[in-house]
Structure 1
């Protein structure tokens, strides 16, 4: 494997810091085994890019994975499942025509200050697609109305939650939490031990929700703890 380190640039999550990223350089499609090994070593996928934080003076970004077989929903998570009992969840192998409009509205309403703003069809396709990942789209609907999409990759030892977007008008349904609970249920059905949720950042309010899914492990000092 070949890797490269980026130059320092302003951190996307902690405004008072700089970040650097370690990139995996893959000129050809990688195998699912290689993808799994990289995730097991703290990497993350965005489009075809695989990366992990490589900041000399900061370790705030910690890869987190849920231990699926031991997971039990909390009282609040059980309420969210009950509140959304009327939703239909199906798996798709590719993006559907009504996904992008929901994604566009979600970025405008929830992430207008983030790196993905302004959204575009080209950016969306580049972000979600990979020519080597085994990706599924968790399609969540209220009758015929699309309300949420959770994009997840199947890997050797689990699922990797790539991105979730949803109808912000349905805030009381907690659709982001519901989507993670559905991915945990899918991983359990597939007899996969882990659901990788990306980076937990305790100091960033919009990124620290992942710790609510317990038990979990964090990748710290090149070990899962």
Structure 2
């Protein structure tokens, strides 16, 4: 299936990871009927999804976007990550299947505070759903609450052999809790408990501030050419 897919190139746009660079992506033909097993194979080839669309960076003069994943069955949290787990023991996790007004209100606050110049409009309700949901995958919304108050939502694709972390947004006033880190730790725990091999984290871009948190998770594997290999990342 993946060998016969038709790809389309996007137009160039400003890179969202590194200043001064232009980016473009190769998209899988949207007319192709994908499903969980197909997408699992595409993840292994370095693709990601945004809404119903599946893509991979295909920039003219740059190959810095490195697909990365975590081996769930062997991962052990470090001291800082164990502290993150302890500091958030007062939160409850509920895995939900739909996005509603409560989630959208949190998303708006998050974008307004954290990504005001990121090209995403917090007022666009349609874009919110089309970005995070997917009509052909089992997408679940991992909701963290304190006494019923929604603090964070992690959008997670559940696949036959893995989880894929799509996006996490949280209450900007709760930044000290490291809720993005907590969400990844919870996904790793769930994957290990259910026998899933990996948690996919998207792309690692060296020297990108937005990606810096990913190197705190070790061991991390990257797709080098056509092989997944353990990475020797610099210390956090």
Say yes or no: TM over 0.5.
yes
Of residues 171, 186, 190, the one that matches 1:186 is 190
Q: How many residues align?
A: 225
**Cα distance 1:166–1:27, how it changes in 2: closer, same or farther (>3 A)?**
same
Per-residue CA deviation, residues 111-162 of structure 1 (Å, 9 max, x unaligned), is 0010213442111011111110111110100011000000100112200001
Question: Residue 94 of structure 1: SS of its match in structure 2?
Answer: coil
Per-residue CA deviation, residues 193-213 of structure 1 (Å, 9 max, x unaligned), is 100011111111111211211
Give the Cα–Cα distance (whole angstroms) in 2 for the partners of residues 28 and 37 of structure 1.
14
Normalised by the size of structure 1, how large is the TM-score? 0.96
Range with greater deviation from structure 2 (1-10 or 197-206): 1-10
Q: 1:153 matched to which residue of 2?
A: 157
Q: Which runs of 5+ in 1 are unaligned?
A: none
| Alpha carbons 1:60, 1:203 under 8 Å: kept | no
Give the Cα–Cα distance (whole angstroms) in 1 for the partners of residues 135 and 63 of structure 2.
31
- Which stretches of structure 1, 4 residues or longer, exceed 6 Å deviation after superposition? none
Give the Cα–Cα distance (whole angstroms) in 1 for the partners of residues 26 and 66 of structure 2.
14
Q: 1:165 matched to which residue of 2?
A: 169
Range with greater deviation from structure 2 (55-64 or 66-75): 55-64
Q: 2:218 matched to which residue of 1?
A: 214
Of residues 38, 43, 48, the one that matches 1:44 is 48
Range with greater deviation from structure 2 (79-88 or 185-194): 185-194
Q: 1:98 matched to which residue of 2?
A: 102
Question: Residue 177 of structure 1: SS of its match in structure 2?
Answer: helix
CA RMSD of aligned residues (A): 1.2
Normalised by the size of structure 2, how large is the TM-score? 0.92
Of residues 10, 13, 16, the one that matches 1:9 is 13
